[in-house]
Amino acid sequence: MKKLLLTITMFASAFAFAQHGLDKEIANIESKVIEWRRDFHQNPELSNREFKTAEKIAAHLKSLGMEVQTGIAHTGVVGILKGKKPGKVLALRADIDGLPVPERADLPFKSTAKGEYNGEEVPVMHACGHDTHIAILMGVAEIMSKNKDKIKGTIKFIFQPAEEGAPSGEEGGAKLMVKEGVLKNPDVDAIFGLHIGSGQPVNTIAYKSGGMMAAVNSFEINVKGIQSHGSTPWTSIDPIIASVKIIDGLQTLVSREMPLTTEAVVLTIGKIESGVRHNIIPESAQMLGTLRTLDADMRTTIIKRMKEMVPAIAKAYRAEATIDIDEGYPITYNDPELTAQMLPSLQKAAGAEKVSVIKAITGAEDFSFFQEEVPGLFFFLGGMAPGETQAFPHHTPDFYIDESGMLLGVKTFIQLSLDYLNN
């Protein structure tokens, strides 16, 4: 009987979706969405510096007659759309920041933008697809604002800055938005978010109930030794040697102390800096790294062991070392009940055969801060061109997204919104 009722509900909702004529409206907005995306791609801005991006978003939302809030978490924008009937409050989120990456892809709207990162001038690129997220949500906002009579409740359109992390010494991102009350007044009941993927075929959706993306912690290690001439290393305490041994030791925490059959753990040193020339043993060294975990207990354990191991290894080589680990992002956790409730909506939007369950990944998303406050569903949208079998990774100069997959993002957000609020 339950299966029959579910089938009837799915059919009725799908019929209502087509009956309202939204499929045609969605198809007609594709050219706008692509135009917006190309503009944002050509004019990216770094985290907490998305000033022009925010202005364009706010102007669009105001033109739709929405109540618009700006300056949230520095450059965040929120549009509030009230339906004709009272009901729940749903939030839809897009992140808006670019990355300090030079673009190599030969596109007519290639980015040549510059920005400042850690005190240095750097090239800026939307190397993670956030430009597509903005354009998709702007398209959803335009269609839904013209169909308020079909909405039972309220939709909050959240355009979030600094997903890639706030500049050193600053707050930002989803955590700051939550702190500043973005999920309040009116209080949000649930939140949906998406991320486009360069290696996932267009017109597909991927998701996972429960923990889908890793918790992330950044860390900084500083090693202090004694400087000397490169010809007399015995008169030095070499911070480079100590650093090498620390890196080697940290990897054993993963390979020898973590129960990897439970969940994956990744510990990466992404930067090591020391010395000024070939014949001087330097006084100090600095390392920057990232820790990715998918289990809360394993995260606690490995952080504890990192704090124990780093100074101990340095001491064994007569050096001193400190390690600072930030609070990071929590696990991106899709509420199981909400995920089960909305799975039929994902399948209606893309087609059941185009929706797949994936294993958890060690990438991270600060959408997790919203999910700590209210039930949330985060899913992946395909961005790899038809016929392709390999794609350049995110955060690289050759990153590329096929724009034909963006329309499914618009359709999926609308389908999820209507089904959640009206059913």
Q: Is 273 a catalytic residue?
A: no
171 CB contacts (<8 Å, ≥6 apart)?
A: 73, 179
In the block, tokens 């504890």 appear at 304
Exposed/middle/buried for residue 159 (C-beta within 10 Å: 0-12, 13-18, 19+): buried
What are 242's two structure tokens? 């100590």
Report the C-alpha gap between 295 and 178 in whole angstroms: 23
Closest CA to 46 of 106, 132, 113, 129: 113
Burial of 177-214, coded b for 16+ CB within 10 Å and e otherwise, reads bbebebbeeeebbbbbbbbbbbebbbbbbbbbbebbbb
Of the residues 45, 142, 164, 329, only one is catalytic, namely 329
Closest CA to 57 of 136, 126, 174: 136
Q: Is 170 a catalytic residue?
A: no
Of the residues 171, 180, 283, 403, only one is catalytic, namely 403
What are 142's two structure tokens? 């335009």
- Residue pair 95/130 in contact (Cβ under 8 Å)? The answer is yes
So which residues are the catalytic ones? Answer: 329, 403
